[in-house]
Amino acid sequence: MVTNAVTVTQAPTIRILLTQPFSQEPGAEISTVAQGFLKVRMCAMVADNLLAMAQIVLIEDDVEIRRLVADALASQGHDVESAAVALDGLQLAVKGSPDLVVMDLGLPDLDGSELLRMIRAVSQVPIIVITARGADEVVVSTLDSGADDYLVKPFSVAQLEARVRALLRRGSASEPGDVIRVGELSIDPAAREATLEGVSLELSPKEFDLLRVLAERVGEVVSKRALMAEVWREPYGGAERTVDVHLSWLRNKLGETAQDPRYLRTVHGVGVKLVDPSR
């Protein structure tokens, strides 16, 4: 049973406590210090709440899972709009400009991977795929089609919530304008665009992520294992060849070779780093 594993966890409630000290003596003046303290507390609470609140589109045809996931996300303070079929979901995802999309792959009217590509064609909204199909090739093609993360059913709601938080954090961390510049290379994580000497680089999603991760740690050697974990979310070192292949594609697009490197420097046996070649 898929739904057995879905348990709704209790979200922490924000309470504003205006209790005893102020109600014991009706009409008593609240001291300036107490007023100041209250203002600070209330501002902090409002700020926390605003940060946590996101517009989320949920696309899932299974009534039970849809209800449980929607309730769980709503209990975290998010505003959730649900759709039971792909085309309704597409409408919500594209027209509503949500902060995040959570979608099932097995949908009645359209295959989820198709829907994923349709959303990706017009929007960079973070997408989490929830799927009963856990086979490696499905996961790989889902991520390659532009999903940011995935969960295989059955999953726990706590896990979903953690991934939602992580993606929302990532989204808010890279506001438009947070462009990373390394020499003549410029990387815009929010727009997912990279240019070299002002010319746009046609990078695949993985090549872009590889470049972004290296650019975020410019000058630092990043191990292939770490790249596997961050770009492919694959903590095992078994597929280091995947990193090598993507690095060579990226090198090619940057117009350099392993023999004559400029931006991408391999540190043998350790990893790779992105450097400013003019320094």
* Strand-pair category, 271-274 with 264-267: antiparallel
Name which of 96 and 106 has its Cβ closer to Ca ion: 106
Name which of 131 and 174 has its Cβ closer to Ca ion: 131
Q: Does 114 bind Ca ion (CB under 5 A)?
A: no
Q: How far apart are CA 234 and CA 161, in angstroms?
A: 20
Q: Does 61 bind Ca ion (CB under 5 A)?
A: yes
Name which of 3 and 223 has its Cβ closer to Ca ion: 3
Q: Can you tell me which of 99, 104, 148, 207 binds Ca ion, judged by CB under 5 A?
A: 104
Name which of 116 and 254 has its Cβ closer to Ca ion: 116
Q: Does 106 bind Ca ion (CB under 5 A)?
A: yes
Closest approach of Ca ion to the CB of residue 221, in Å = 43
Q: How many CB atoms lie within 10 A of CB 258?
A: 12
Q: How far apart are CA 110 and CA 116, in angstroms?
A: 10
What letter would DSSP give residue 189? T
Choices 67-75, 101-109, 225-233, 235-243 (CB under 5 A): range interacting with Ca ion: 101-109
Choices 2-10, 56-64, 68-76, 246-254 (CB under 5 A): range interacting with Ca ion: 56-64
Q: Does 149 bind Ca ion (CB under 5 A)?
A: no
Choices 16-24, 44-52, 58-66, 69-77 (CB under 5 A): range interacting with Ca ion: 58-66
Q: How far apart are CA 69 and CA 56, in angstroms?
A: 11
Return the closest-CA partner of residue 114 out of 76, 147, 70. 147
DSSP-assigned letters across all residues of 58-95: EE---HHHHHHHHHHHHHTT-EEEEESSHHHHHHHHHH
Choices 73-81, 103-111, 211-219, 265-273 (CB under 5 A): range interacting with Ca ion: 103-111
Choices 48-56, 61-69, 245-253, 264-272 (CB under 5 A): range interacting with Ca ion: 61-69
Closest approach of Ca ion to the CB of residue 130, in Å = 9
Q: How far apart are CA 263 and CA 120, in angstroms?
A: 29
Give me the phi and psi of 219, to 5 degrees please: 85, -5
Closest approach of Ca ion to the CB of residue 260, in Å = 50
Residue 159, burial from CB neighbour count under 10 angstroms (0-12, 13-18, 19+): exposed
Closest approach of Ca ion to the CB of residue 186, in Å = 41
Name which of 99 and 104 has its Cβ closer to Ca ion: 104
Q: How far apart are CA 193 and CA 178, in angstroms?
A: 12
Closest approach of Ca ion to the CB of residue 8, in Å = 19
What are the residues binding Ca ion (CB under 5 A)? 61, 104, 106
